[in-house]
Amino acid sequence: MSTKTADFTIIGGGIAGLATAIALHQKGFQAELFEAAPEIRAVGAGISLAPNAALALRKLGLEETIAREGRLLPGMSIRQANGRVITRADGRQIAQRYGAAHYAIHRAALHQALLAKLPGTPMATGKRAIGIRRESGVAVARFEDGSEHEARALILADGIHSPTRQQLMTGSTSRYAGYTCWRAVIEYDGPLIEEATETWGPSGRFGIVPLKGRQVYWFACITSPADNARYKRFTTEDLYAQFQGYHTPIPEIIRQTPDAALLWNDIIDLKPIHQFAFGNIVLTGDAAHATTPNMGQGACQALEDAVVLADEAARCSSPEEAFRQFELRRMERAHYVVKRSWSIGRIAQAQNPLLGALRNALFRLAPSSAAEKPLKYLYEVDF
Ligand SMILES: Cc1cc2nc3c(=O)[nH]c(=O)nc-3n(C[C@H](O)[C@H](O)[C@H](O)COP(=O)(O)OP(=O)(O)OC[C@H]3O[C@@H](n4cnc5c(N)ncnc54)[C@H](O)[C@@H]3O)c2cc1C
């Protein structure tokens, strides 16, 4: 990869980096990408993509692929441990109201779809950025292997732990949300699951999201101190013991999960930072505004970032101006998600039975307008 040939250089080949490359390419720019891992591939299990993400994917020419490779969610409910519904959102009504549907997809399929849109984009793997500096109008990225690369404009999409962000903003490290999470995707052998559910109970939170065909993505969150040695050793048998009293099909889904399919990590986010643009360098995706997963919005926001960033690049006379405008358009919305998602996590994780029962009753009695307002804000996205 030669020096300074591309209009934009992207660090990180996750959802944010790949989507940004696609969006820039659509606007006629040349982008190049550097990824730390030996190959560009998804890490994780399933992912849900809300209507605002579907609108961004439509702009990227990917909505049909996502609909084909994933699953349209006809409904999403929050339940208590015995299965009783606390609240339910009708996916079809949402799709009608906001002009886009709610999808769920295997992360590997999403990554594949993004990569397929980038056949001509130079991508270098095994390139972990460890530092950046600005030098007479160019941004220089320094890599772990000792090499350097000069860029006209640098887009940092290297995730929540972004070392380049931490260089630009000392102290912008991740924070632990207070709960830990297991995830898996399985081929579920049982009655077809069509709707997504999240169950709040005294043993923790359990989510089920149907993917393509018989695939089911599930997650379980338990309140815990960070890096808990006991949970590090947890197997599906332990999780079965934890959630066996929950409604069907939760115990059965855990039973059908091999230990090898289990992913475990503590839930973290990035406390809102107040600068995304630094001259000809910009932060995007999780590197700029990583959120807890309680609203299922992290990747959705990264996709929005991509569309807005390319839009501003096409509209503005310089990358510096485009990055400033990007920050102006994106910061409030991204921070809204981070803060709201953090609060939802606190509420949803209440494992005290009394508090949990009170919370469930309050949610059940809340007027539908209370649930609609945030959806309207999120889904009526203006690109
Ligand atoms: C449990 C869980 C569930 C979630 N569920 C959802 C959901 O349902 N819906 C949703 O919208 N979001 C969800 N999210 C959030 C979503 O996964 C993230 O917001 C999204 O993946 C962010 O993409 P990104 O490209 O910004 O960062 P990342 O996915 O972290 O990608 C960063 C990329 O940069 C590379 N990289 C890292 N460091 C360097 C470096 N120094 N140099 C070069 N490359 C580097 C990495 O290898 C990676 O490829 C969830 C998150 C979690 C943890």
Residue 237 confidence (pLDDT) above 50: yes
As a whole number of angstroms, the distance between CA 286 and CA 14 comes to: 10
CA 376, 381, 383: angle at the middle one, nearest 5? 170
Q: What is the pLDDT of residues 1-57, one digit of tens each?
A: 445 579 999 999 999 999 999 999 999 999 999 999 999 998 889 999 999 999 999
Residue 83 and residue 247 in contact, taking contact as beta carbons nearer than 8 Å: yes
pLDDT of residue 328: 98
- The pLDDT, as a whole number, for residue 1 is 43
Which residues does residue 160 pair with via DSSP β-bridges, in sequence order? Answer: none
Say whether pLDDT at 270 is over 50: yes
For the 8-54+64-74+107-174+270-346 domain, the top CATH level (class) is alpha beta
User: Which atom of ligand 1 is the closest one to the Cα of 183?
Assistant: 1
Within 6 Å (CB) of ligand 1, which residues are found? 11-17, 34-37, 47-48, 128-129, 157-159, 163, 181, 183, 285-287, 293, 296-300, 302
Question: Which contacts (CB < 8 Å, 24+ apart) does range 341-346 have?
Answer: 341/269, 341/291, 341/292, 341/293, 341/294, 341/295, 341/297, 342/177, 342/269, 342/291, 342/292, 342/294, 344/292, 344/294, 344/295, 345/177, 345/178, 345/179, 345/267, 345/292, 345/294, 346/178
What pLDDT is attached to residue 3? 53
State pLDDT tens for residues 101-142: 999 999 999 999 999 999 899 999 999 999 999 888 899 999
Domain ranges of the chain: 8-54+64-74+107-174+270-346
Q: Which pLDDT score, from 0 to 100, does residue 333 have?
A: 97
Distance 78 CA to ligand 1 centre (A): 25
Q: Cα of 269 to ligand 1 centre, how many Å?
A: 11
Atom of ligand 1 nearest to the CA of 181: 1
Q: What is the pTM of this model?
A: 0.96
In the reported structure, the alpha carbon of residue 159 is separated from the centroid of ligand 1 by a whole-number distance in angstroms of 5
In three-state secondary structure terms, 204 is strand
Per-residue pLDDT reduced to its tens digit, 296-316: 999 999 999 999 999 999 999
- Return the ligand 1 atom nearest residue 34 CA: 43
Atom from ligand 1 closest to the CA of residue 43: 29
Quick one: pLDDT band at residue 188, thresholds 50, 70, 90? very high
- Classify residue 193 by its DSSP letter: P
